[in-house]
Amino acid sequence: MDKTQQNYAVMFADIAGSTRLYERLGDHIANQMISGAMKLVAALIKNNKGVVVKHIGDEVMCRFSSADHAVKCACEIHEMMELQPVQHGIGLVFRIGINWGPAILREDGDIFGDAVNLAARMAGLAKARQIITTETVKQRLTSIELLPKCREIDCTHVKGKVDAISVIEVMWEPNNVTHMSTIISNNVAFTNDSKPLCLYYQQKKLELISGSEAYTFGRDISCDQMIVSTLASRIHAKIEYRRGKFVLVDESTNGTYLQVHNNSPIFLRREEVILQGEGVISFGEKININSDFLLRFSL
């Protein structure tokens, strides 16, 4: 028999890149690493007055009676994973989705309902080291520390919903404020929907088209393109498609260098810039045309 419907903050925390982890390290070592991370996460959930509902593969589902507790727990999960030692050359990272709303709590401890489905959808939108949530969660926050960390990054339609959903990212890192760089050449036209972005890294070529999901770069195995340089961060940078433009976003410790055509290189640290024309990108080190870790791009 189902219990009465109640409001919960529902959170899904999923280990990013787990499939690649198993492929690279094998089942035994990968399972040991993931199990260890899940135990740490379970402890944080409990410390933040949450309840683990169940594990779904390499993902944990949990519930909280407070939006503040859920968001605080999500931030602590990412902070904790940043402090964990790298094992076998890999540092595990999570992607997290949160939603608030009515759900039915069953006697077996499971919960279900529209709020749960939307929380899972937010987790699906999240990239490695991200916390993605909804405007509903933001409105429920009372902490003066958590509210300034929330920023709207998109407005999207979700299956089963008539109105578009405001998608909120929780910027959990200290001083993690992204600014749009104004150092952009006036000699190159902005991108548009008809032009793909071509990326060239070592012997690999890739095309990003309009509507592409964010493409990530860094040392971590969860990244779409691993950069094995010691100067690159685990999750160093990403390229996002927004409103007809491809945007380079730095999320690193050492910063990202960008050179468009023959213009002077610019340095990004926690900043972003619209990609135009053709050029090169260097992760964590000044641009060296002979570097093995140089990314070339063209529109």
What is the model's pLDDT at position 160?
67
pTM score, whole prediction: 0.64
> In which band, very low, low, confident or very high, does the pLDDT at 3 lie, cut at 50, 70 and 90?
low
Higher model confidence: residue 46 or residue 187?
Answer: 46
Who wins on pLDDT, 116 or 251?
116
**pLDDT value at residue 194:** 54
In angstroms, the CA 164 to CA 157 distance is 4
| % of the chain beyond a pLDDT of 90 | 56
Give the model's pLDDT for residue 108: 86
State pLDDT tens for residues 162-178: 778 889 999 987 654 44
List, in sequence order, every residue forming a beta bridge with 100; answer none if it has no partner. 9
pLDDT of residue 179: 43
In the predicted model, is pLDDT for residue 186 greater than 80?
no
Burial label for 116, CB within 10 Å (0-12, 13-18, 19+), is buried
Q: What is the pLDDT of residues 229-238, one digit of tens each?
A: 989 988 899 9
Q: Alpha-carbon distance 170 to 259, whole Å?
A: 30
Confidence of residue 187 (pLDDT cuts 50, 70, 90): very low
What length is written for the chain? Answer: 299
Tokens of 93: 């990272």
Q: What is the pLDDT of residues 130-164, one digit of tens each?
A: 999 999 999 999 999 999 999 888 777 766 677 78
- Checking if the pLDDT of 48 tops 70, the result is yes
- The pLDDT tens digits of the residues spanning 226-283 come to 999 989 988 899 999 887 889 999 988 889 999 998 889 999 988 889 999 999 999 9
Strands 225-226 and 215-218 come out as: parallel
Does residue 254 or residue 191 have the better pLDDT? Answer: 254
Kindly state the tokens that stand for 167: 């998608």
Domains delineated in the chain: 2-170 (3.30.70.1230), 179-298 (2.60.200.20)
> What pairs with residue 268 in β-bridges?
256
Average pLDDT, the chain: 86
How confident is the model at residue 146, as a pLDDT?
A: 94
Condensed to tens digits (0 to 9), the pLDDT of residues 49-95 reads: 999 999 988 999 999 999 999 999 999 999 999 888 877 777 788 99
Tokens 């902070």 — which residue? 79
The pLDDT of residue 185 is above 50: no
pLDDT value of position 93: 87
Q: What is the mean pLDDT of residues 198-224?
A: 88
- pLDDT in the model for residue 116: 95
